[in-house]
Chain A
């Protein structure tokens, strides 16, 4: 492991460098009309950070995302625990969840808008529906794969359902559940942003759409860049924790 780590870092850095070089070359080929160079993008991002108009949009997106993630995690875990623990309920509803997971959720956006109206609620709902199902599916599998002896021991000790969930199932299933949370994080973020892109008056997704409408390449590139960096940093951290959790077992 100790020998493996520096190499993995080096390889990741090499891919990162290749991405920046590729971006620079693409910029040279395509030209200013469609792309900004990496340096120009970073410079404009810094300028956005310094401007007053940017932060309310940022806050809006982060608030919506945090709410959506909280709903997705709580609902996903609850559904997952329930269906994972009860064999019959799991057999009945898991295929339904799998089918729902596979549908292109953008298609549902007009319905979400009609149900929740234009604004914060619709964004949160749209983010949450992206995250709930993967979290639930991973939790179902995690709970099912808990070694039966642990559950039997819990029964012998006469644990209540609540104690069983919090003291036995959850700790034993945490590595798998965490993988679900990691994926749920990404999908909830993308869901929230998509919600903002299609219909909203504020937020980073709105800034993107507005940039697209006005053909403001600076804004499009900087906001995309910002989102990619944000997603990449948090995903990598979650991935590292994920690996540690799985290695522990």
Chain B
């Protein structure tokens, strides 16, 4: 395992080094991409001067709200749908198709309804993420062993108690898979709609920098978004692994 980790770090370092070399030698010209070391320096100066703090704060806040909504509504809806078998059978094909629908196409409609503010963007991020949470919650609830349900019945738990004390705690590792998707979808929704039409935020700044060939702004902001999402995902994955390990499953 540790050998794999060492090799992984070496492989990634080698990839960055190759990229750096290609940029320095000029195989990749500087209008296409800056050398990674240059991006790191630019990112540091952007964070140090606080030039884009407002944009960064706006995007992170909106993504956070969209994420929280998707997770809470998704889990609640997952529990509800799991209880209604007929509804579930009807919704299954819809869920399977959902991620082929360009949800972003509904953005203009939402702008007309709610105005060009934060609400349409948050709704898009929410709409993208919520189904992943629902689907994975359902998957987790499907796996609850029957003996736990019987024990709950013997304890005369109410349906709400069964959900909060028995089935959901059991399903948490599976739900977390959906939660990881929700992180990514929240950012896809917010950044995507900021690209399409907005008055601020990191996506807006990236699009603006792209149009002005300002790679010194564009690349560091992209790297920052990637860093935030990857760290969030790694943290959730670690939690998931700890939970599974406690059950002797990992």
User: Which residues of A does B touch, CB under 8 Å?
Assistant: 7-8, 11-15, 19, 30, 33-35, 88, 91-93, 95-96, 98-99, 102-111, 113-115, 182-183, 185-187, 189-190, 193-194, 197-198, 205, 208-209, 211-212, 215, 220, 223-224, 227-228, 231-232, 234-236, 239
A236 to B100, CA, bound (A): 11
A109 to B234, CA, bound (A): 23
Residues of B within 8 A of A234 (CB): 100
Give the shortest distance, in Å, between B140 (CB) and chain A (any CB).
Answer: 18
Is B93's CB under 8 angstroms from A224's CB? no
Is A92's CB under 8 angstroms from B11's CB? yes
Residues of A within 8 A of B207 (CB): 110
Is A235's CB under 8 angstroms from B100's CB? yes
A104 to B222, CA, bound (A): 10
> Chain B: interface residue count, which band?
35 or more
Complex partner residue of B8 from A93, A104, A190, A228, CB under 8 angstroms: A93
Known: A103-B184, A106-B188, A111-B222. A209 touches B196 (CB 8 A): yes
- Complex interface bits, B186-207 against A, C-beta within 8 A gives 1, otherwise 0: 0110011001110000010011
Known: A12-B90, A15-B91. A186 touches B99 (CB 8 A): yes
Is A107's CB under 8 angstroms from B187's CB? yes
Stretch in contact with the other chain, from B44-52, B153-161, B224-232:
B224-232
Give the shortest distance, in Å, between B171 (CB) and chain A (any CB).
Answer: 20
B64 part of interface (Cβ distance < 8 Å): no
Report whether over half of chain A's contact residues are helix, strand or loop; otherwise say mixed: helix
Complex partner residue of A107 from B3, B112, B225, CB under 8 angstroms: B225
B106 part of interface (Cβ distance < 8 Å): yes
B147 part of interface (Cβ distance < 8 Å): no
User: Which residues of B does A touch, CB under 8 Å?
Assistant: 1, 3-4, 7-8, 11-12, 31-33, 86-87, 89-94, 96-97, 99-102, 104-109, 112-113, 180-181, 183-185, 187-188, 191-192, 195-197, 203, 206-207, 210, 218-219, 222, 225-226, 229-230, 233-234, 237
Residues of A within 8 A of B92 (CB): 12
Is A220's CB under 8 angstroms from B100's CB? no
Give the shortest distance, in Å, between B211 (CB) and chain A (any CB).
Answer: 9
Is A110's CB under 8 angstroms from B206's CB? yes
Closest residue of B by beta carbon distance from A14 = B90
Residues of B within 8 A of A231 (CB): 97, 100-101
A99 to B238, CA, bound (A): 13
Other than A12-B90, A197-B105, A220-B105, give 10 A-B pairs with Cβ distance below 8 A.
A7-B89, A11-B89, A14-B90, A91-B4, A93-B8, A106-B203, A113-B210, A198-B195, A209-B196, A227-B100
